Amino acid sequence: LISLQTDGSSRMNISILTVFPALYEQFLETSLLKKATGAGIVDFNLYRFADCVPPKKRIDEPACGPGAGMVIRPEVVEAAVDVAEKKSGRAFKIFFSPHGTKLDQKKMRSIVKKISEQNKTHLMLVAARYEGMDLRVEDEYADEIISIGDYVLMGGDLPAMVFLEAFLRLVPGVVGDQESVVEDSFTGPFVDYPNYCLPVQWHDRTIPEILRSGDHKKINVWRTEQAVKRTLASHFDWLRHSPVTSDQKALVRSFIPPHYVVLMHDQVMTGPEKIVGTTSVTSLDIHDIARSAATYGIKKYFLVTPLLDQQKIVAQFLEFWHEGGGVTYNESRHVAIKEVVVKASLELTIAAIFEAEGKMPLVIATSAQKSPRDNCITFHDQGVVWSHDRPVLLVLGTGRGLTDALLAKVDFVLVPVEGCTDYNHLSVRSAAAIIFDRWLGLNPQ
Ligand SMILES: C[S@@+](CC[C@H](N)C(=O)[O-])C[C@H]1O[C@@H](n2cnc3c(N)ncnc32)[C@H](O)[C@@H]1O
């Protein structure tokens, strides 16, 4: 936890500037917020915009330009800010708007840190209504502009309350049991583990045996595993945007279903007429995709070619890197290429995975065009795929891409890799690297 009060004495004054102060009255009188006020940790002051302007003066004006909507006047916000700062000193000011920075636990912690570094003991939350505020007040006053999600509410009051609850959990003394805050979801890269309470049996559901074992060490291991599993199922984006240690990476890897990749030199379209046929292997593809596959924890990289002379060429190449001079010539290259296997068909590739894993893989094809079928998945659908608890085989095409017949047989087709242009003719090596990264990559903030 970050300490807000650097001198350990002064309380946090929280001013809320709003059109509707009545919305907060019960909220501030409830549970931990009331306790925090009672304990002298925080003090709340509500300011109604209408009370900060002369009687009968409107607080809003029609938005300039075409279109409907009323906007809160800048002088009104100015007057309310002045009144609140006169009473409680210079404030750290937070405005709420859908266009602001999305609030999450990292953002929350960074705000708490800023307030503490600036030695501020006055926090001001400014809640708009109607079409929002005149932009100039945000430019003039806001230390932070916060959105609580990509949806539009009627006003900034619920965002202010959401912010307050998240903020106050991080203020020492507000939540009685600090341990529960330290173990909260999003404190690290994972969500919280599941909790149960008595009775042991409810409907046909029983508390997991392990929690009743009394073996704290085992319970902690189980809880960590559950937290990782839940994170992978529904919060992979949080995990991939969080810093993770090497041990955490290994733990995560052990719960992601095994991934394989196959590069098809068969069942592909070739030439300008897109004739179904075969293509030649290239050493560049083998090197580069093997290195990408190793980076993203892909267990094996299969090359499919039905042509015997091509298989022979690959076998020679692999011999050098698996057990020949390549092992000592470039060890890290050996580490990547030792997972490359050549097969005569996709069916034999799938059979090899079945033999290794005891389960048939889910087959995900890739294509530069959007699939017209309804088996299309996006780079946000890992949870859907991983919930099947089956190995995953990513299929990459060469030549002009995988044939329609093959695309019709697979479980899923990934959306094409795209940038902000209409061009996406990537080499398979580049496409592979981007696909692996979008599907499995970590990108910590
Ligand atoms: C009706 S909204 C204005 C919506 C505005 N026309 C837009 O599309 O961005 C009025 C006010 O509610 C608050 N608000 C609405 N949705 C919000 C969100 N997701 N996060 C933070 N504040 C929000 C803001 O204070 C906003 O100025």
Residue 8 has pLDDT above 80, yes or no: no
Q: What is the pLDDT at residue 3? A: 53
At 374, the pLDDT band (50, 70, 90 cuts) reads: confident
Is residue 132 in contact with ligand 1, taking CB distance under 6 Å?
A: yes
Average pLDDT over residues 116-144: 96
Sheet containing 42-48: order of strands: 42-48, 12-18, 122-126, 92-102, 144-147
What pLDDT, in 10s, does the model give residues 278-328? 999 999 999 999 999 999 999 999 999 999 999 999 999 999 999 999 999
Query: What count of residues does the chain have?
Result: 445
Residue 178 has pLDDT above 90, yes or no: no
Nearest CA to ligand 1 atom 7: 98
Residue 143 has pLDDT above 70, yes or no: yes
* Residue spans of alpha helices (H) in 118-260: 135-141, 157-169, 178-182, 216-234, 236-240, 246-255
Nearest CA to ligand 1 atom 1: 154
Is residue 145 in contact with ligand 1, taking CB distance under 6 Å?
A: no
3-state class (DSSP) for residue 250: helix
How many Å lie between the centroid of ligand 1 and the Cα of residue 182? 31
What pLDDT, in 10s, does the model give residues 303-317? 999 999 999 999 999
Task: Give the ligand 1 atom nearest the CA of 99.
Answer: 9
What pLDDT, in 10s, does the model give residues 149-170? 999 999 999 999 999 999 999 9
Q: To the nearest whole percent, how much of the chain has pLDDT over 90?
A: 89
Is residue 68 in contact with ligand 1, taking CB distance under 6 Å?
A: no
Q: How far is the C-alpha of 385 from the C-alpha of 180, rounded, in Å?
A: 32
Whole-prediction pTM value?
A: 0.90
What pLDDT, in 10s, does the model give residues 220-253? 999 999 999 999 999 999 999 999 999 999 999 9
Task: Give the ligand 1 atom nearest the CA of 128.
Answer: 25
